Amino acid sequence: MARSVYLHIPFCESICHYCDFNKFYINRQPVHDYLIALEKEIEHTIAKYPPEAIKTVFVGGGTPTALPLRELDFLFNIIHKHLGAYFNEEIEFTFEANPSPLSKEKILLLKDGGVNRLSFGVQTFDDELLKIIGRSHRSIDAVRSIYLAQETGFQNINVDLIYSLPGQTTYQFKDTIEKAFTLGVQHFSGYSLQIEPKTVFYNLMRKGKLQLPTEDEEAMMYEILIDEMKKNGYEQYEISNFALPGYESKHNLTYWCNEEYYGIGAGAHSYVDGVRRVNAGPLNQYVTLINKNGFPYIEEHIVTIQEKMEEEMFLGLRKTAGVSVDLFIQKFDKNIYEIFGEEINMLVKKGLLEETDGSVKLTKNGMFLGNEVFQTFIK
């Protein structure tokens, strides 16, 4: 039973050079029509697949805070009208925010709308690098927005950081981390830059005009990230995520624990009732399908037991807690070694996995070679 909801707001005030998410420049877009279609999808989805309780809501994008105040207020009315009755008492309600610049009026509206966790897409505190990657904010905007959120009462804040940026040095990345620690936030996500098709960076790379750090430099930055987070009291609970105790992202753990979730909005993915679905991405197609069918699905895949077990491995191994042997038996009525014993033994011999505390986990070396490990479990 799905107990988490992802809502996609695909509008941005500017397009970052690395982003391949489903997004659109907000000017002249049918924002209100989109929100009306979003409401219809929520209504139809909940009617067909009613939840017992909702433990997390995550509003992502795009840039959800790009919405004008009136449309932002309308979005909160939609959420509480159709989902509010299912919220449990300890719900985690996350909203992605762009720090360029985030007004006090919007922060207050987020607070009044029930949001209790903010995720800021800071990426780096180096202004030159911010320009290179196409971000519209500067480091001072990020600092001001985070302090303003804290003054407004937000006590659960995540900061996204990206490393291995074009021309970035290990010194620059360490400087960004040190500046980030001065903000007193509760959670960090740190990702290595990935060059994806249909992005500005992909086109530059094909033309030989993108200077990226070497693989060794990238590995050094990741090691710096891990070591500095630990020194400053942030526990690594997933390959790319670090939190003060008790502030781990409940919503993202839904994905890594291979649990079901609702995905609402253009281009969103969902996993409900044993079926993975993909929504139409283009706005006109999304709205048309909603008005015609009530649902915007363009792909539906019934997940087999074998696929569920594979997903349990390559998603669960992202967590530092790893994959529990007992929980695997509870979920699938099969022993993990009966299904994946050969793969596990091979990866243990390579020093990429270890078996401790009743779980199979990545070693520190395995953290650096996660994709190699994950692919081993996809048959």
Domain positions in the chain are 4-256, 306-376
Helix H or strand E segment including 9: strand 4-9
154-168 b/e with 16+ CB inside 10 Å = b?
A: bebbbbbbbbbbbeb
Tell me 261's DSSP state: B
Tell me 133's DSSP state: T
CA distance 127 to 122: 11
CA distance 260 to 196: 27
Task: Please give the pLDDT value at position 372.
Answer: 94
CA distance 324 to 358: 6
CA distance 139 to 126: 7
Q: Do domains 4-256 and 306-376 have the same CATH topology?
A: no
Task: Please give the pLDDT value at position 213.
Answer: 95
86: exposed, middle or buried (C-beta count within 10 Å: 0-12, 13-18, 19+)? middle
Report the CATH fold assignment for 306-376: Arc Repressor Mutant, subunit A (1.10.10)
pTM of the model: 0.96
Sequential DSSP letters for 275-321: EEEEE--SHHHHHHHHHHHS--EEEEEEPPHHHHHHHHHHHHTTBTT
| Contact predicate 249/237, CB 8 Å | no
Report the CATH fold assignment for 4-256: pyruvate-formate lyase- activating enzyme (3.80.30)
Task: Please give the pLDDT value at position 18.
Answer: 84
Kindly state the tokens that stand for 88: 């449990």
pLDDT along the chain (379 residues), means of 10: 96 86 88 97 97 96 95 98 94 94 92 98 96 92 96 97 96 97 98 91 90 95 98 98 98 98 98 98 97 97 98 98 97 97 97 96 95 93
CA distance 62 to 7: 11
Tell me 66's DSSP state: G
Task: Please give the pLDDT value at position 309.
Answer: 98
